[in-house]
A and B are shown apart, each in its own frame.
Chain A
Amino acid sequence: MGYHWNWKVLFAPEPGGTGTFLHYLVVGLEWSLACALCAWVIALVVGAIVGTLRTTTNRWVVAIGNVYVEIFRNVPLLVQMFLWFFVVPELLPTGLGDTIKQMPPPWAAFVPAVLCLGIFTSVRVAEQVRAGIGSLPRGQRMAAIAMGLTQFQAYRFVILPQAFRIILPPLTSEFMNIIKNSSVALTIGLMELTARARAMQEFSFQVFEAFAAATVLYIVTNLVVVLLMRWIEGRVRVPGLIAIGAGGGH
Protein backbone atom coordinates (compact mmCIF):
# COMPACT_ATOMS: atom_id res chain seq x y z
CA MET A 1 0.00 0.00 0.00
CA GLY A 2 3.02 2.25 -0.05
CA TYR A 3 3.00 3.17 3.63
CA HIS A 4 6.24 2.76 5.55
CA TRP A 5 5.57 1.51 9.04
CA ASN A 6 8.06 2.64 11.63
CA TRP A 7 7.00 1.84 15.16
CA LYS A 8 10.38 2.94 16.51
CA VAL A 9 9.23 6.53 15.94
CA LEU A 10 7.44 6.30 19.30
CA PHE A 11 10.83 6.20 20.99
CA ALA A 12 12.37 8.95 18.88
CA PRO A 13 12.74 12.38 20.55
CA GLU A 14 9.99 14.89 19.81
CA PRO A 15 11.05 18.32 18.44
CA GLY A 16 10.02 20.20 21.60
CA GLY A 17 12.83 18.43 23.46
CA THR A 18 10.67 17.13 26.32
CA GLY A 19 11.45 13.45 25.65
CA THR A 20 10.22 10.70 23.35
CA PHE A 21 7.03 10.89 21.26
CA LEU A 22 5.51 8.24 23.52
CA HIS A 23 6.16 10.45 26.54
CA TYR A 24 4.70 13.39 24.58
CA LEU A 25 1.47 11.41 24.05
CA VAL A 26 1.28 10.24 27.67
CA VAL A 27 1.53 13.86 28.84
CA GLY A 28 -1.36 14.54 26.44
CA LEU A 29 -3.37 11.79 28.13
CA GLU A 30 -2.63 13.43 31.48
CA TRP A 31 -4.07 16.71 30.17
CA SER A 32 -7.15 14.87 28.85
CA LEU A 33 -7.67 13.26 32.25
CA ALA A 34 -7.02 16.50 34.17
CA CYS A 35 -9.55 18.30 31.98
CA ALA A 36 -12.08 15.47 32.30
CA LEU A 37 -11.72 15.18 36.09
CA CYS A 38 -12.10 18.92 36.74
CA ALA A 39 -15.12 19.03 34.41
CA TRP A 40 -16.56 15.94 36.11
CA VAL A 41 -16.61 17.75 39.48
CA ILE A 42 -18.67 20.57 37.93
CA ALA A 43 -20.90 18.08 36.11
CA LEU A 44 -21.65 16.09 39.27
CA VAL A 45 -22.35 19.10 41.49
CA VAL A 46 -24.45 21.05 38.97
CA GLY A 47 -26.08 17.88 37.61
CA ALA A 48 -27.08 16.70 41.09
CA ILE A 49 -28.59 20.09 41.95
CA VAL A 50 -30.46 20.53 38.66
CA GLY A 51 -31.62 16.90 38.59
CA THR A 52 -32.90 17.13 42.16
CA LEU A 53 -34.66 20.46 41.58
CA ARG A 54 -36.50 18.94 38.60
CA THR A 55 -38.10 16.36 40.93
CA THR A 56 -39.45 18.95 43.39
CA THR A 57 -43.07 20.07 43.37
CA ASN A 58 -42.39 23.75 42.66
CA ARG A 59 -43.52 24.32 39.04
CA TRP A 60 -41.24 27.31 38.44
CA VAL A 61 -38.15 25.53 39.68
CA VAL A 62 -38.97 22.53 37.47
CA ALA A 63 -39.51 24.80 34.46
CA ILE A 64 -36.16 26.56 34.95
CA GLY A 65 -34.47 23.15 35.26
CA ASN A 66 -36.12 22.01 32.02
CA VAL A 67 -34.99 25.12 30.14
CA TYR A 68 -31.42 24.64 31.37
CA VAL A 69 -31.40 21.02 30.22
CA GLU A 70 -32.92 21.75 26.80
CA ILE A 71 -30.50 24.59 26.05
CA PHE A 72 -27.33 22.66 26.75
CA ARG A 73 -28.61 19.43 25.19
CA ASN A 74 -29.59 20.91 21.84
CA VAL A 75 -26.42 22.82 20.95
CA PRO A 76 -23.44 20.78 19.64
CA LEU A 77 -20.50 20.42 22.02
CA LEU A 78 -18.09 22.06 19.56
CA VAL A 79 -20.34 25.12 19.24
CA GLN A 80 -20.57 25.34 23.04
CA MET A 81 -16.78 25.13 23.17
CA PHE A 82 -16.54 28.12 20.82
CA LEU A 83 -19.12 30.02 22.88
CA TRP A 84 -17.10 29.56 26.08
CA PHE A 85 -13.80 30.37 24.38
CA PHE A 86 -14.67 33.20 21.95
CA VAL A 87 -18.02 34.63 23.05
CA VAL A 88 -18.21 34.52 26.86
CA PRO A 89 -15.05 36.67 27.47
CA GLU A 90 -16.53 39.34 25.14
CA LEU A 91 -19.82 39.43 27.04
CA LEU A 92 -18.15 39.85 30.45
CA PRO A 93 -17.03 43.29 31.70
CA THR A 94 -13.99 44.36 29.68
CA GLY A 95 -11.45 44.02 32.49
CA LEU A 96 -12.49 40.51 33.45
CA GLY A 97 -12.81 39.43 29.80
CA ASP A 98 -9.27 40.63 29.03
CA THR A 99 -7.86 38.87 32.10
CA ILE A 100 -9.40 35.60 30.88
CA LYS A 101 -8.09 36.07 27.34
CA GLN A 102 -4.58 36.87 28.59
CA MET A 103 -4.18 33.81 30.80
CA PRO A 104 -0.92 32.05 29.92
CA PRO A 105 -1.22 28.83 27.88
CA PRO A 106 -2.45 26.20 28.48
CA TRP A 107 -4.84 27.81 30.98
CA ALA A 108 -6.47 30.09 28.40
CA ALA A 109 -7.78 26.92 26.69
CA PHE A 110 -8.00 24.68 29.76
CA VAL A 111 -10.39 26.82 31.81
CA PRO A 112 -13.02 27.34 29.06
CA ALA A 113 -12.72 23.65 28.12
CA VAL A 114 -13.37 22.55 31.71
CA LEU A 115 -16.36 24.89 32.08
CA CYS A 116 -17.77 23.80 28.71
CA LEU A 117 -17.40 20.06 29.34
CA GLY A 118 -18.64 20.42 32.91
CA ILE A 119 -21.85 22.23 31.97
CA PHE A 120 -22.41 20.04 28.87
CA THR A 121 -22.13 16.87 30.96
CA SER A 122 -24.09 18.30 33.92
CA VAL A 123 -27.21 18.13 31.76
CA ARG A 124 -26.74 14.40 31.18
CA VAL A 125 -25.98 13.85 34.87
CA ALA A 126 -29.13 15.82 35.75
CA GLU A 127 -31.20 13.50 33.54
CA GLN A 128 -29.71 10.45 35.27
CA VAL A 129 -30.24 11.89 38.75
CA ARG A 130 -33.85 12.68 37.91
CA ALA A 131 -34.39 9.17 36.54
CA GLY A 132 -32.71 7.67 39.61
CA ILE A 133 -34.93 9.63 41.99
CA GLY A 134 -37.97 8.72 39.89
CA SER A 135 -37.12 5.03 40.12
CA LEU A 136 -37.33 5.03 43.93
CA PRO A 137 -40.61 3.84 45.46
CA ARG A 138 -42.82 6.79 46.48
CA GLY A 139 -43.06 5.30 49.97
CA GLN A 140 -39.44 6.28 50.66
CA ARG A 141 -40.22 9.98 50.42
CA MET A 142 -43.54 9.61 52.27
CA ALA A 143 -41.91 7.65 55.09
CA ALA A 144 -39.18 10.27 55.43
CA ILE A 145 -41.72 13.11 55.66
CA ALA A 146 -43.87 11.06 58.06
CA MET A 147 -40.86 10.65 60.33
CA GLY A 148 -40.67 14.41 60.62
CA LEU A 149 -37.80 15.11 58.22
CA THR A 150 -37.98 18.33 56.23
CA GLN A 151 -38.01 18.20 52.42
CA PHE A 152 -34.27 19.00 52.41
CA GLN A 153 -33.49 16.31 55.00
CA ALA A 154 -35.57 13.75 53.08
CA TYR A 155 -33.46 14.37 49.97
CA ARG A 156 -30.19 14.56 51.87
CA PHE A 157 -30.55 11.45 54.04
CA VAL A 158 -33.07 9.20 52.29
CA ILE A 159 -33.59 9.88 48.59
CA LEU A 160 -30.25 11.04 47.17
CA PRO A 161 -28.03 8.42 48.85
CA GLN A 162 -30.17 5.68 47.27
CA ALA A 163 -30.59 7.41 43.90
CA PHE A 164 -26.86 7.94 43.44
CA ARG A 165 -26.07 4.31 44.13
CA ILE A 166 -28.68 3.18 41.63
CA ILE A 167 -27.44 5.45 38.82
CA LEU A 168 -23.77 4.56 39.22
CA PRO A 169 -23.61 2.44 36.01
CA PRO A 170 -25.00 5.21 33.72
CA LEU A 171 -22.74 7.72 35.49
CA THR A 172 -19.78 5.50 34.61
CA SER A 173 -20.57 5.78 30.93
CA GLU A 174 -21.01 9.55 31.30
CA PHE A 175 -17.56 9.71 32.87
CA MET A 176 -16.10 7.81 29.92
CA ASN A 177 -17.92 10.21 27.58
CA ILE A 178 -16.37 13.21 29.31
CA ILE A 179 -12.87 11.74 28.77
CA LYS A 180 -13.64 11.18 25.09
CA ASN A 181 -15.31 14.58 24.72
CA SER A 182 -12.25 16.34 26.15
CA SER A 183 -10.71 15.74 22.70
CA VAL A 184 -13.02 18.47 21.33
CA ALA A 185 -10.90 20.94 23.34
CA LEU A 186 -8.20 20.56 20.68
CA THR A 187 -10.23 22.99 18.56
CA ILE A 188 -9.50 25.79 21.05
CA GLY A 189 -5.84 24.82 21.33
CA LEU A 190 -5.64 22.51 24.34
CA MET A 191 -2.81 20.03 23.71
CA GLU A 192 -4.56 16.91 25.00
CA LEU A 193 -4.07 13.36 23.69
CA THR A 194 -5.79 13.65 20.29
CA ALA A 195 -4.19 17.05 19.62
CA ARG A 196 -0.77 15.61 20.44
CA ALA A 197 -1.35 12.59 18.18
CA ARG A 198 -2.20 15.04 15.39
CA ALA A 199 0.90 17.13 16.18
CA MET A 200 3.08 14.01 16.25
CA GLN A 201 1.77 13.11 12.80
CA GLU A 202 2.80 16.53 11.53
CA PHE A 203 6.28 16.36 13.08
CA SER A 204 7.11 12.76 12.15
CA PHE A 205 4.85 11.98 9.13
CA GLN A 206 4.05 8.65 10.83
CA VAL A 207 0.25 9.07 10.76
CA PHE A 208 -0.92 5.63 11.70
CA GLU A 209 1.64 4.97 14.44
CA ALA A 210 0.61 8.24 16.11
CA PHE A 211 -3.13 7.51 15.89
CA ALA A 212 -2.69 3.85 16.85
CA ALA A 213 -0.75 4.84 19.97
CA ALA A 214 -3.44 7.37 20.92
CA THR A 215 -6.16 4.75 20.29
CA VAL A 216 -4.41 2.25 22.56
CA LEU A 217 -4.05 4.88 25.30
CA TYR A 218 -7.77 5.68 25.11
CA ILE A 219 -8.71 1.98 25.25
CA VAL A 220 -6.45 1.34 28.26
CA THR A 221 -7.98 4.37 30.02
CA ASN A 222 -11.46 2.98 29.30
CA LEU A 223 -10.56 -0.40 30.74
CA VAL A 224 -9.13 1.15 33.90
CA VAL A 225 -12.25 3.28 34.40
CA VAL A 226 -14.56 0.28 33.84
CA LEU A 227 -12.66 -1.88 36.35
CA LEU A 228 -12.47 0.92 38.91
CA MET A 229 -16.18 1.71 38.65
CA ARG A 230 -17.12 -1.97 38.83
CA TRP A 231 -15.18 -2.16 42.09
CA ILE A 232 -16.91 0.97 43.45
CA GLU A 233 -20.31 -0.32 42.33
CA GLY A 234 -19.69 -3.49 44.28
CA ARG A 235 -18.75 -1.55 47.40
CA VAL A 236 -21.74 0.80 47.48
CA ARG A 237 -24.43 -1.58 46.19
CA VAL A 238 -27.79 -0.98 47.92
CA PRO A 239 -28.58 -4.10 49.99
CA GLY A 240 -31.69 -5.80 48.67
CA LEU A 241 -31.37 -4.18 45.24
CA ILE A 242 -28.64 -6.49 43.97
CA ALA A 243 -30.37 -7.13 40.64
CA ILE A 244 -30.35 -3.42 39.78
CA GLY A 245 -26.85 -2.81 41.07
CA ALA A 246 -25.42 -5.66 39.02
CA GLY A 247 -26.59 -3.97 35.83
CA GLY A 248 -28.61 -6.94 34.61
CA GLY A 249 -32.06 -5.50 33.86
CA HIS A 250 -31.56 -2.79 31.32
Chain B
Amino acid sequence: MAGFDWDVIQRSMPYLFREGMKFTLTLTVLAMAGGIVFGTILAMMRLSKFKPVAIVAGGYVNLMRSIPLVLVIFWFFFLVPYIGAWILREERPIQVGAFYSALITFTMFEAAYYCEIMRAGIQSIPRGQVWSGYALGLNYWQTMGHIVLPQAFRNMLPVLLTQTIILFQDTSLVYVISATDFLGAAAKVANRDYRLVEMYSFVAVVYFIISFSLSLLVKRLQARIAIR
Protein backbone atom coordinates (compact mmCIF):
# COMPACT_ATOMS: atom_id res chain seq x y z
CA MET B 1 0.00 0.00 0.00
CA ALA B 2 2.92 2.32 -0.72
CA GLY B 3 0.96 4.47 -3.12
CA PHE B 4 -1.93 5.14 -0.74
CA ASP B 5 -2.56 8.89 -0.83
CA TRP B 6 -3.77 9.99 2.62
CA ASP B 7 -3.58 13.60 1.59
CA VAL B 8 -6.56 13.45 -0.77
CA ILE B 9 -8.77 12.28 2.10
CA GLN B 10 -7.57 15.06 4.36
CA ARG B 11 -8.01 17.69 1.66
CA SER B 12 -11.55 16.64 0.82
CA MET B 13 -12.67 16.08 4.42
CA PRO B 14 -14.57 19.40 4.79
CA TYR B 15 -16.41 18.82 1.50
CA LEU B 16 -17.18 15.18 2.32
CA PHE B 17 -18.68 15.94 5.72
CA ARG B 18 -20.16 19.43 5.39
CA GLU B 19 -21.76 18.73 2.02
CA GLY B 20 -22.01 14.97 1.71
CA MET B 21 -22.61 13.71 5.22
CA LYS B 22 -24.99 16.61 5.94
CA PHE B 23 -27.10 15.53 2.95
CA THR B 24 -27.01 11.88 4.04
CA LEU B 25 -27.94 12.59 7.68
CA THR B 26 -30.66 15.13 6.87
CA LEU B 27 -32.18 12.71 4.38
CA THR B 28 -31.98 9.82 6.87
CA VAL B 29 -33.59 11.73 9.77
CA LEU B 30 -36.39 13.32 7.72
CA ALA B 31 -37.17 10.09 5.83
CA MET B 32 -37.21 8.20 9.12
CA ALA B 33 -39.69 10.65 10.68
CA GLY B 34 -41.87 10.73 7.57
CA GLY B 35 -41.57 6.98 7.04
CA ILE B 36 -42.59 6.11 10.60
CA VAL B 37 -45.62 8.44 10.50
CA PHE B 38 -46.78 7.20 7.08
CA GLY B 39 -45.87 3.62 7.99
CA THR B 40 -47.98 3.78 11.17
CA ILE B 41 -50.94 5.09 9.16
CA LEU B 42 -50.44 2.24 6.67
CA ALA B 43 -50.28 -0.27 9.53
CA MET B 44 -53.58 1.04 10.96
CA MET B 45 -55.09 0.83 7.47
CA ARG B 46 -53.87 -2.76 7.01
CA LEU B 47 -55.47 -3.73 10.32
CA SER B 48 -58.71 -1.89 9.52
CA LYS B 49 -61.98 -3.84 9.61
CA PHE B 50 -63.06 -1.92 6.50
CA LYS B 51 -61.75 -4.31 3.80
CA PRO B 52 -61.10 -1.90 0.88
CA VAL B 53 -58.83 0.24 3.08
CA ALA B 54 -56.90 -2.85 4.22
CA ILE B 55 -56.55 -4.06 0.63
CA VAL B 56 -55.26 -0.73 -0.67
CA ALA B 57 -52.66 -0.46 2.09
CA GLY B 58 -51.66 -4.11 1.70
CA GLY B 59 -51.27 -3.69 -2.05
CA TYR B 60 -49.10 -0.61 -1.60
CA VAL B 61 -46.84 -2.33 0.93
CA ASN B 62 -46.45 -5.48 -1.16
CA LEU B 63 -45.75 -3.46 -4.31
CA MET B 64 -43.01 -1.44 -2.60
CA ARG B 65 -41.48 -4.56 -1.10
CA SER B 66 -41.35 -6.45 -4.38
CA ILE B 67 -39.43 -3.96 -6.52
CA PRO B 68 -35.81 -2.83 -6.08
CA LEU B 69 -35.11 0.46 -4.33
CA VAL B 70 -33.07 1.66 -7.31
CA LEU B 71 -36.12 1.30 -9.54
CA VAL B 72 -38.28 3.12 -6.97
CA ILE B 73 -35.76 5.97 -6.89
CA PHE B 74 -36.00 6.25 -10.69
CA TRP B 75 -39.81 6.06 -10.58
CA PHE B 76 -40.15 8.95 -8.17
CA PHE B 77 -37.38 10.96 -9.78
CA PHE B 78 -39.46 11.11 -12.96
CA LEU B 79 -42.93 10.90 -11.41
CA VAL B 80 -42.69 13.62 -8.75
CA PRO B 81 -42.42 16.52 -11.25
CA TYR B 82 -45.64 15.33 -12.92
CA ILE B 83 -47.47 14.84 -9.62
CA GLY B 84 -46.29 18.28 -8.51
CA ALA B 85 -47.61 19.81 -11.72
CA TRP B 86 -50.93 18.05 -11.19
CA ILE B 87 -51.26 19.27 -7.60
CA LEU B 88 -50.21 22.85 -8.41
CA ARG B 89 -52.29 22.79 -11.62
CA GLU B 90 -49.26 23.71 -13.72
CA GLU B 91 -49.13 22.99 -17.44
CA ARG B 92 -45.60 21.58 -17.46
CA PRO B 93 -43.77 19.21 -15.08
CA ILE B 94 -42.30 21.22 -12.19
CA GLN B 95 -38.62 21.26 -11.17
CA VAL B 96 -37.85 19.18 -8.08
CA GLY B 97 -34.28 19.00 -6.81
CA ALA B 98 -32.48 15.72 -6.12
CA PHE B 99 -32.92 16.22 -2.36
CA TYR B 100 -36.71 16.54 -2.34
CA SER B 101 -37.05 13.77 -4.89
CA ALA B 102 -34.91 11.51 -2.68
CA LEU B 103 -36.78 12.56 0.46
CA ILE B 104 -40.17 11.68 -1.07
CA THR B 105 -38.78 8.39 -2.42
CA PHE B 106 -37.29 7.23 0.87
CA THR B 107 -40.33 8.32 2.90
CA MET B 108 -42.68 6.40 0.62
CA PHE B 109 -40.39 3.36 0.29
CA GLU B 110 -39.32 2.96 3.91
CA ALA B 111 -42.94 3.51 5.04
CA ALA B 112 -43.73 0.06 3.62
CA TYR B 113 -41.05 -1.50 5.86
CA TYR B 114 -41.92 0.61 8.93
CA CYS B 115 -45.56 -0.38 8.32
CA GLU B 116 -44.78 -4.07 8.74
CA ILE B 117 -42.85 -3.35 11.95
CA MET B 118 -45.65 -1.20 13.41
CA ARG B 119 -48.24 -3.77 12.37
CA ALA B 120 -46.38 -6.44 14.33
CA GLY B 121 -46.11 -3.97 17.21
CA ILE B 122 -49.84 -3.20 17.24
CA GLN B 123 -50.68 -6.90 17.02
CA SER B 124 -48.41 -7.63 19.99
CA ILE B 125 -50.62 -5.49 22.29
CA PRO B 126 -53.11 -7.66 24.22
CA ARG B 127 -56.72 -7.25 23.03
CA GLY B 128 -57.80 -6.39 26.57
CA GLN B 129 -55.98 -3.06 26.25
CA VAL B 130 -58.26 -2.06 23.38
CA TRP B 131 -61.41 -3.29 25.13
CA SER B 132 -60.59 -1.40 28.31
CA GLY B 133 -60.04 1.69 26.20
CA TYR B 134 -63.49 1.34 24.67
CA ALA B 135 -64.97 0.46 28.08
CA LEU B 136 -63.64 3.77 29.40
CA GLY B 137 -65.58 5.51 26.65
CA LEU B 138 -62.62 6.34 24.39
CA ASN B 139 -63.24 6.23 20.64
CA TYR B 140 -61.03 4.44 18.07
CA TRP B 141 -58.59 7.34 17.60
CA GLN B 142 -58.24 7.99 21.32
CA THR B 143 -57.67 4.29 22.05
CA MET B 144 -55.07 4.10 19.29
CA GLY B 145 -53.36 7.38 20.13
CA HIS B 146 -53.26 7.08 23.92
CA ILE B 147 -53.13 3.34 24.58
CA VAL B 148 -52.13 1.10 21.67
CA LEU B 149 -49.63 3.14 19.64
CA PRO B 150 -47.44 4.35 22.53
CA GLN B 151 -46.98 0.76 23.73
CA ALA B 152 -46.50 -0.62 20.21
CA PHE B 153 -43.95 2.08 19.45
CA ARG B 154 -42.05 1.38 22.65
CA ASN B 155 -41.97 -2.38 22.07
CA MET B 156 -40.82 -1.94 18.48
CA LEU B 157 -38.29 0.84 19.10
CA PRO B 158 -35.19 -1.40 18.64
CA VAL B 159 -36.58 -2.84 15.40
CA LEU B 160 -37.54 0.62 14.13
CA LEU B 161 -34.01 1.85 14.85
CA THR B 162 -32.43 -1.17 13.16
CA GLN B 163 -34.55 -0.38 10.10
CA THR B 164 -33.29 3.20 10.33
CA ILE B 165 -29.67 1.96 10.18
CA ILE B 166 -30.64 0.12 6.99
CA LEU B 167 -32.24 3.34 5.72
CA PHE B 168 -29.01 5.23 6.53
CA GLN B 169 -27.05 2.74 4.40
CA ASP B 170 -29.67 2.71 1.64
CA THR B 171 -29.51 6.49 1.20
CA SER B 172 -26.17 5.90 -0.57
CA LEU B 173 -28.25 4.74 -3.54
CA VAL B 174 -29.17 8.38 -4.34
CA TYR B 175 -25.87 8.08 -6.26
CA VAL B 176 -28.00 6.88 -9.21
CA ILE B 177 -29.70 10.28 -9.50
CA SER B 178 -26.30 12.05 -9.09
CA ALA B 179 -27.14 13.57 -5.70
CA THR B 180 -24.21 14.72 -3.56
CA ASP B 181 -24.63 12.54 -0.50
CA PHE B 182 -21.59 11.22 1.40
CA LEU B 183 -20.83 8.57 -1.23
CA GLY B 184 -21.72 10.95 -4.08
CA ALA B 185 -19.31 13.59 -2.75
CA ALA B 186 -16.56 10.99 -2.37
CA ALA B 187 -17.23 9.67 -5.88
CA LYS B 188 -16.87 13.18 -7.29
CA VAL B 189 -13.51 13.69 -5.59
CA ALA B 190 -12.42 10.15 -6.54
CA ASN B 191 -13.11 10.72 -10.22
CA ARG B 192 -11.68 14.25 -10.28
CA ASP B 193 -8.34 13.33 -8.66
CA TYR B 194 -8.37 9.71 -9.87
CA ARG B 195 -8.10 8.47 -6.27
CA LEU B 196 -10.78 5.73 -6.33
CA VAL B 197 -9.02 3.29 -3.99
CA GLU B 198 -8.44 5.90 -1.28
CA MET B 199 -11.88 7.53 -1.44
CA TYR B 200 -13.99 4.36 -1.59
CA SER B 201 -11.98 2.67 1.18
CA PHE B 202 -12.43 5.75 3.34
CA VAL B 203 -16.18 5.86 2.63
CA ALA B 204 -16.50 2.19 3.59
CA VAL B 205 -14.67 2.78 6.88
CA VAL B 206 -16.83 5.80 7.79
CA TYR B 207 -20.08 3.98 6.98
CA PHE B 208 -18.86 1.00 9.01
CA ILE B 209 -17.99 3.07 12.07
CA ILE B 210 -21.34 4.90 12.08
CA SER B 211 -23.54 1.84 11.39
CA PHE B 212 -21.64 -0.38 13.82
CA SER B 213 -21.80 2.17 16.67
CA LEU B 214 -25.52 2.71 16.06
CA SER B 215 -26.15 -1.04 16.08
CA LEU B 216 -24.29 -1.35 19.42
CA LEU B 217 -26.50 1.43 20.84
CA VAL B 218 -29.62 -0.38 19.60
CA LYS B 219 -28.41 -3.58 21.30
CA ARG B 220 -27.99 -1.76 24.63
CA LEU B 221 -31.41 -0.15 24.25
CA GLN B 222 -32.92 -3.54 23.50
CA ALA B 223 -31.43 -4.98 26.71
CA ARG B 224 -32.82 -2.08 28.75
CA ILE B 225 -36.31 -2.34 27.27
CA ALA B 226 -36.34 -6.12 27.70
CA ILE B 227 -35.82 -5.90 31.48
CA ARG B 228 -38.74 -3.53 32.08
Contacts and interface: CB of A to CB of B under 8 A. Distances in A.
Contacts of A207: 78
A214 B212 CA distance: 35
B72 to A, nearest CB: 9
A183 B68 contact: yes
B156 to A, nearest CB: 14
B197 interface: yes
Interface in A57-94: 70-71, 73-80, 82-83, 86-87, 90-91
B86 interface: yes
Contacts of A201: 78
B100 interface: no
Consensus secondary structure, chain A interface? helix
B69 A180 contact: yes
A87 B74 contact: no
Interface stretch (A139-147, A150-158, A215-223): A215-223
Nearest to B83: A1
A208 interface: yes
Contact of A76 (B92, B93, B183): B183
Contacts of B74: 194, 197-198, 211
A76 B169 contact: yes
Given A2-B91, A78-B183, A82-B203, 19 more contacts: A2-B82, A75-B207, A76-B170, A80-B204, A83-B204, A87-B200, A90-B196, A91-B197, A180-B68, A183-B71, A184-B68, A184-B173, A186-B70, A207-B78, A214-B71, A215-B67, A215-B75, A218-B67, A218-B68
Interface of B: 63, 66-71, 74-75, 78-79, 82, 85-86, 91-93, 169-170, 172-173, 175-176, 183, 187, 196-197, 200-201, 203-204, 207-208, 211-212, 215
Interface of A: 1-3, 70-71, 73-80, 82-83, 86-87, 90-91, 176, 180-184, 186-187, 194, 197-198, 201, 207-208, 211, 214-215, 218-219, 222
